[in-house]
Structure 1
Amino acid sequence: MTNVFRMTTLTACVLSSLTLTAAKQGNDVGATGYKGEDGLFYQLQSNTLQKGTSKIDAKLQQLAAKKSQDELLDVIIFVKTDAVEKQLKAIDKRYQAQLEDLSKQLKSIDLKYRPAESLSEKQEQEFMQSKAAMMTAQDKQVARATKKELDDIRDQARQEKAKLVEQIAQNKMREISDLVRANGGKIQNQTALNSAVGAQVSAAMLEQIANYPAVTFITVDAKPDYEVNVSVPSARYNTWHSANFDGYPYDFGVVDTGVRENHPAFVGNNFCSKPGSSVTGDHGTHVAGIVISDDATYKGTAPGTDSVIWANSGNQSTTMSNMQWMLSGTCQGPEVVNHSLGYGVADDTDYSVTDAFYDAFVQNYNVMVTKSTGNSGWSDSAPRITHPAPAYNLMAVANMNDRNTTSRTDDVRSGSSSVGPTLNGRRKPDIAAPGSAIMSTNSDWQSEADFISKSGTSMAAPHVAGAIILMEDGGNHTAMAQKAVLINTADAWDSKNTATTSDDGQVSGSHWDKSYGWGYIDMWESHYNRGDYFVSSVIPRNNNNVANDYKLFKGKMYANEKATLVWQRRANFASGPTGNAYNLSDLNLRLYQEGSNVLKDSDFDGDDNVHQVAAAGTMDAVIKVYAWSSSFDGASSESFALATEENFAQVTPPSLQIPSQSFSGTPFTAIPVAVKVRNNGGVDSCSVTVTRGNVSGVSGPTSVSIASIADGGEGVANFSLNAANGSYSIPFTATTTCYNETFTTSGTISLRSQIIILPPSF
């Protein structure tokens, strides 16, 4: 794909634990960064503060200077705690077999109603309207029960992980809390996931707290900004609903102004709120209704959602703490948490200390966060998205104005929707969804209308949250795979890099835009391709042809169809400033015609964790996912999700073999030698060069080229050799350079050259 924006450095919070990636073959690597495959230099950070650097954030220092010494400041104190990454992985491993078995059962049911062949978009629509796509009542019942069992097990695993995280962090956080209280400060909350203590402390206390050995960083506890300024059919959610995917038995989490649980459109939903939570405004109820409303006219995106887990948002530390509560409390754990609020325009840093919390949340709990991008509108050069939208692992959502029509062709972004990219040019927003003049539930329904209209990216984000719940219902239970499928099936939109929307519109193929992200969410397409993804992993780049630092996938693609790669910025529970948010691994994506080494499309961008390629025309495609990094910060392998079209398969690379063969002839005459070469791999080879080794007494061509060899097939290299009288063992090698890898094999051919004396004829 063609990138609209590129960055030259990758910066993060000053205390992030980002150890230097090791040198890569052929790249300029120094003490501070490396050269990516895109030719740009990427700067990496040390995990230690430079000598003399303050633990107090510069913004907080400036704020404290304006206050009296005894005036209280809202701060977040980050504390160093013990790592728990191995224990979290052990919990995942214990539940893995059960979850995989249940997922396979659901997959087998789903495959019964899928076409065996790859289809064009028009054919896909025709198939989905046919009776062949309609699930039987028995299969619906079995699938529903299996989903409930799977959801219960995942809840159990998440709660176990959350409690472990809290257990590890509690002693250090209590230690700091006691220190704050002893000096006249107040504790607001604690968040175990990133070992953060929200507190009110005086300006005079800051240095004393910063000097405490367990404290790693202190920053401002930012106040929230609620980002408000016929959506279900225009984004095509009704396609899911008509196919009996409504979100059951999965659960929705929301941090906001509270949810009015007794609204008539919420009958049948279960609710669980954090003790002490209350409805402080109409924003949260409106957001919740966009997901769960079961009203006949104003239906939500996932109206069958089982439970709503909610808590009030507040200052940054409060919101983080309440998100942690959702996973460790007595409620069912949510599959997605909506975050329709922001903490200031992200024009101060590319990646803040609190952005790292959201990466840790998504990665460790496998729970997607949908974040409104903000309502600060357009800028020609500066980012207008709000924190924590720059976080890598969440989905940052722009506001699409559907103009109150079911047609998508006239839809454009709202003029207030915040644009990207991030400060260093990373590609955010991720996706666009309806967010203008959205009718949804009113918290004051008893004295006012049941439904009211609101606009803003706050309304767009829950549309994507509902999509995540439907993806769960459709069998996709991996956060990064959900993100990959929704981005891959979105329709690309182009702003032409202008503030006006009069020249905006849909474009073909792959395109990221500073207004629309990777495109306008298309729930029809995501429904059809809901199961077309792979979750796999690669090891760091090792410069050999063994398929462990790369993976190959093949299938049919029609013109403008795409493939999307997503991986995560890894952060264990002590993320960000406490020392364990790692450098983003550099993975890349290539698209080839099967049997050809000619690159059809690629995405080499070194600072983003979403890559995409598109087909220019109908093709038998081979997609390559591979590591450019020759080491991964904090891990020996990197997991990824790849979203594709239907009927793709992960395949082994070409594997050549020259079987034993024997040939004979007479001296001084040309002897035909047809060297067979087999391809035992799972994908076609490219052209193969067969080379003859030098053997005394044998002459003739030294190399012959043959065409691509199909997977499981055989090719023949025809040599014409001359040999003196005798028997020979002739070595041959076969080599193909394909998909940017070189594969070679060797074999020996027996050749006998002898004079045949015929008996006299009488």
Structure 2
Amino acid sequence: MSAQTGIEGSFDLQTYRAEALEHVSAREGIPIGELTIINEAFATFPLTGRTLWGAKMLDEKSSAVYGVYLDEQGRVVEIDAAKEAEAAEKSKRYGKLDPELAERVSTMRSDEKVVVWIWLTEPSMDRSRFQGNLSEEQHQELLSLQRAAYAAHEAPVIDFLKTQDSTVVYASQYAPVVFAEVSRETIQDLSKRSDVVSLDITRSYEPALSSAAPTVKANVVWGRGKTGTGIKVAIVEAPLGSGSRIEFSNPYLPDGSSYRPDLPVSSHATAVAGIVASSHSTYKGISYGVPALLSANAETGNDTDIVAAMEWAITQGAKVLSCSYEKYTSGVIEDLAQYHDHVVWSNHLTVVVAAGNPPIEGAEAGVVLSPGLAYNVITVGAFDDMDSSAWPGDVMWAGSLEQSGYIDPISQHDDREKPEVVAVGTRITSTTDMSPWIGSVPSGTSFAVPAVSGEAALLMHRQSQLTSWPEAVKAAIMAGAVHNIEGASRLSDRDGAGGIDCSIADDTIANNRWWANTVTYGDFPKTYVLSGIPAGKKVRVVAAWDSHPPDLHPPYGTINDPLQSDFDLLIYDPNGEQVEVSSSYDNNYEIGQFTAEMSGNYQARVVKYRFEGASERLALAYSISDP
């Protein structure tokens, strides 16, 4: 669900559409009759107070997509100029400081200190040989390269902080970030350094509060011999009360190790672990064959401790990071969300996070919580299966005071859609932290996240190449999420692409209905053959790529982490007739769905609307299911 309101009234849309078509026709030399507007949106710039109307147009003959923006007076303008003006205004108001930190600094005493994120420039390192399918040895080599590069790059800032009587709380091993407790004067000095890009205040997070496996069809995949064998899953937890550690004494859980074995156990962490890996004969975890679990138990809910716990799990070889914690940030991506994006983009790992459990009433009612706002993660909402594996009657989860988050992140054109998928989040039986070791657990998106994390492990067991292609994991899971809980079947506000179906996603991978490649500007349009589609079947196609968080800190104005590429998805039937278009502005995925009217080979074509980086990691997956 988007939050854009009231803008349309100040624009004569019929006139704007006609002007846009005429302009693109003249600019590109294409007859107006061959151009079709496939999407339109308003781009907002809150600091400069500007609003632009934009349209995407498809050239029916070439399949190229063109765009244009008009301002409030109906004049054609360049959006890059508006972005630069917004960035300049942000710099003028706040410098390198996040607005919240700038406000805090303005009231700090000279002897007062605060813990901050210090984002640095991205160090130079040769990642070219780590872009494809990585063996475990190659992945460990990548991690070693990153640890050395970031340590060397962070050293001058750490040395400077020591001279300022500042305390270094944590230096990231896998991102250009240092956490430090600093004074007002040190913040001002840091902002003058050329190797410091942005500074922000740290925040605190809290957990996002019969068997769900048959509902999501995990048992079907088990019957095919896939249970998650060989895949390490990390349960990343903030404390609930005093503890955040998995109780590995539970006889239904596999062996595991903990980041902080000295900290108390947690019923929340233990229940989440069971949804992934319980071996109980009745209440099995989604991927009960995983060899071990990693309890990435943060000491506190502060983002410094969460980052440290995640990096321990990365070093231990986790391929899936299951993250069940939340923080309200008014729909704006903050530093921890960008850090999660960095893990996916830089380390090629699958990260699954909660949409959060915002209140039903109040200022933050229904808002997707952070880090669920991040681009590259799989954000998961929760639905209620009424304790039955049959799908009819399932509804989105809502408690007496909380609900599954669904109101979307703030974005330039206000058309991002979160969550990506939903899973069962209530009426669940899982492992507990004391005898008899199995029992009912609370409700919330916390308990939907591990179902999707387990599904990711099943897919990686099916195809080991997916351990280094989180983009393909996301595409396959979204393509397989055909259980429509509410709204439009393809994509809707509250359930995203829908409820997960592990068996459909497994079909996608098992039948080679997926691709993953590193692509460059000259690779487009990129065509994929969807082979052997039977008439009458529902086909869903998902393309997914990444934001590049290392490349731009901080982002334009208050719009976070802008994507370097905008791809659109076109689908054609065996006769070359177009059957589906997906052309959002601000998502890093596109999703198309249709019912095949004829049997044969269809084509999915990914076209570039915008491509500003050197390369992209692009994945596409499609599913075939009953309507």
What TM-score bracket applies, with the shorter chain setting the length?
0.7 to 0.9
Q: Which residue of 1 aligns with 2:67?
A: 27
Q: For the structure 1 residues 518 and 25, does the alpha-carbon distance in structure 2 shift closer, same or farther, using more than 3 Å as the test? A: closer
Q: 1:616 aligns with which of 595, 616, 620?
A: 595
Q: Which residue of 2 aligns with 1:480?
A: 471
Q: 1:410 aligns with which of 393, 397, 404?
A: 393
Q: Deviations over 1:24-67 (max 9, x none)?
A: 98533699xxx9xxxx9799855995353411111112234454
Which amino acid in 1 is paired with 2:144? K
Are the aligned partners of 2:112 and 2:184 in contact in 1 as well (CA < 8 Å)? yes
Q: Which residue of 2 aligns with 1:88?
A: 127
Q: 2:327 aligns with which of 343, 353, 359?
A: 343
Q: Which residue of 1 aligns with 2:342?
A: 360
- Does 2:309 correspond to 1:322? yes
Are the aligned partners of 2:168 and 2:179 in contact in 1 as well (CA < 8 Å)? yes
Q: Which residue of 2 aligns with 1:600?
A: 579
Q: 2:530 aligns with which of 531, 549, 554?
A: 554
Q: Which residue of 2 aligns with 1:124?
A: none
Q: Deviations over 1:537-576 (max 9, x none)?
A: 586777xxxx852213133144461232222224275664
Are the aligned partners of 1:538 and 1:627 in contact in 2 as well (CA < 8 Å)? no
Distance 2:278 2:528 in 1: 42
- Does 2:408 correspond to 1:421? yes
SS of alignment partner, residue 509 of structure 2: coil
1:339: Cα distance to partner? Answer: 0.7
SS of alignment partner, residue 119 of structure 2: strand
Are the aligned partners of 1:486 and 1:521 in contact in 2 as well (CA < 8 Å)? yes
Q: TM-score, normalised by structure 1?
A: 0.65
Q: Which residue of 2 aligns with 1:214?
A: 195
Which amino acid in 2 is paired with 1:398? G
Q: Which residue of 1 aligns with 2:427?
A: 437
SS of alignment partner, residue 225 of structure 2: coil
Are the aligned partners of 1:439 and 1:451 in contact in 2 as well (CA < 8 Å)? yes
Which range moved further: 362-371 or 180-189? 180-189
Q: 2:496 aligns with which of 517, 533, 543?
A: 517
1:612: Cα distance to partner? Answer: 1.9
Q: Deviations over 1:658-690 (max 9, x none)?
A: xxxxxxxxxxxxxxxxxxxxxxxxxxxxxxxxx
* Structure 1: 5+ residue stretches without partners: 15-22, 100-152, 497-506, 647-762
Q: Which residue of 2 aligns with 1:255?
A: 236
1:243: Cα distance to partner? Answer: 2.3
Distance 2:552 2:296 in 1: 23
Are the aligned partners of 1:383 and 1:422 in contact in 2 as well (CA < 8 Å)? no
Q: Which residue of 2 aligns with 1:758?
A: none
Are the aligned partners of 2:568 and 2:582 in contact in 1 as well (CA < 8 Å)? yes
Are the aligned partners of 2:250 and 2:437 in contact in 1 as well (CA < 8 Å)? no
SS of alignment partner, residue 322 of structure 1: helix
Q: Which residue of 2 aligns with 1:626?
A: 606
SS of alignment partner, residue 590 of structure 1: strand
Q: Deviations over 1:576-607 (max 9, x none)?
A: 4499966341211122221233x222112222
Q: 1:400 aligns with which of 363, 383, 392?
A: 383
SS of alignment partner, residue 9 of structure 1: strand
SS of alignment partner, residue 55 of structure 1: coil
SS of alignment partner, residue 615 of structure 1: strand
Distance 2:68 2:41 in 1: 17
Are the aligned partners of 2:427 and 2:443 in contact in 1 as well (CA < 8 Å)? yes
Q: Which residue of 2 aligns with 1:75?
A: 116
Q: Which residue of 2 aligns with 1:471?
A: 459
1:406: Cα distance to partner? Answer: 1.9
| Equivalent residues in 2 for 1:21-170, closer than 5 Å | 27-28=67-68, 45=83, 50=88, 52=92, 53-84=94-125, 87-92=126-131, 96=133, 153-154=135-136, 156-170=137-151
1:316: Cα distance to partner? Answer: 1.7
- Does 2:43 correspond to 1:9? yes
| Equivalent residues in 2 for 1:483-522, closer than 5 Å | 483-493=474-484, 495-496=486-487, 510-522=489-501
Which amino acid in 1 is paired with 2:204? K
Are the aligned partners of 1:263 and 1:441 in contact in 2 as well (CA < 8 Å)? yes
Q: Deviations over 1:272-318 (max 9, x none)?
A: 33356633532212111110111113211111101212322332232
Distance 1:175 1:459 in 2: 42
Q: Deviations over 1:617-652 (max 9, x none)?
A: 43235222222335x222156522232439xxxxxx
SS of alignment partner, residue 239 of structure 1: helix
Q: For the structure 1 residues 192 and 585, does the alpha-carbon distance in structure 2 shift closer, same or farther, using more than 3 Å as the test? A: same
SS of alignment partner, residue 200 of structure 2: strand
Distance 1:455 1:488 in 2: 26
Are the aligned partners of 2:118 and 2:199 in contact in 1 as well (CA < 8 Å)? yes
1:226: Cα distance to partner? Answer: 0.8
Q: Which residue of 2 aligns with 1:642?
A: 621
Q: 1:583 aligns with which of 563, 587, 598?
A: 563
Q: Which residue of 2 aligns with 1:681?
A: none
Which amino acid in 2 is paired with 1:622? Y
SS of alignment partner, residue 493 of structure 1: coil
SS of alignment partner, residue 586 of structure 1: strand
Are the aligned partners of 2:409 and 2:418 in contact in 1 as well (CA < 8 Å)? yes
Which amino acid in 1 is paired with 2:322? N
Are the aligned partners of 2:260 and 2:297 in contact in 1 as well (CA < 8 Å)? no
Which amino acid in 2 is paired with 1:372? A
Q: For the structure 1 residues 47 and 353, does the alpha-carbon distance in structure 2 shift closer, same or farther, using more than 3 Å as the test? A: farther
Q: Which residue of 1 aligns with 2:264?
A: 279
Q: Deviations over 1:433-477 (max 9, x none)?
A: 01113222222x15x754341211000000000000001111161
SS of alignment partner, residue 168 of structure 2: strand
Q: Deviations over 1:123-143 (max 9, x none)?
A: xxxxxxxxxxxxxxxxxxxxx
Are the aligned partners of 1:538 and 1:551 in contact in 2 as well (CA < 8 Å)? no
Q: For the structure 1 residues 358 and 575, does the alpha-carbon distance in structure 2 shift closer, same or farther, using more than 3 Å as the test? A: farther
Q: For the structure 1 residues 279 and 11, does the alpha-carbon distance in structure 2 shift closer, same or farther, using more than 3 Å as the test? A: farther
Which amino acid in 1 is paired with 2:606? Y
Distance 1:633 1:4 in 2: 28
Q: Deviations over 1:159-184 (max 9, x none)?
A: 21122112111133232233334333
Which amino acid in 1 is paired with 2:338? A
Distance 1:528 1:464 in 2: 16
Distance 2:391 2:198 in 1: 47
Which amino acid in 2 is paired with 1:78? W
Q: Percent identity?
A: 18
Distance 2:506 2:407 in 1: 28
Distance 1:627 1:192 in 2: 36
Distance 1:362 1:13 in 2: 30
Q: For the structure 1 residues 539 and 310, does the alpha-carbon distance in structure 2 shift closer, same or farther, using more than 3 Å as the test? A: closer
CA RMSD of aligned residues (A): 3.6
Distance 1:623 1:409 in 2: 32
Distance 2:279 2:122 in 1: 44
Q: Which residue of 2 aligns with 1:371?
A: 353
Are the aligned partners of 2:228 and 2:457 in contact in 1 as well (CA < 8 Å)? yes
1:385: Cα distance to partner? Answer: 0.6
Q: 1:241 aligns with which of 196, 219, 222?
A: 222
Distance 1:595 1:430 in 2: 32
SS of alignment partner, residue 386 of structure 1: coil
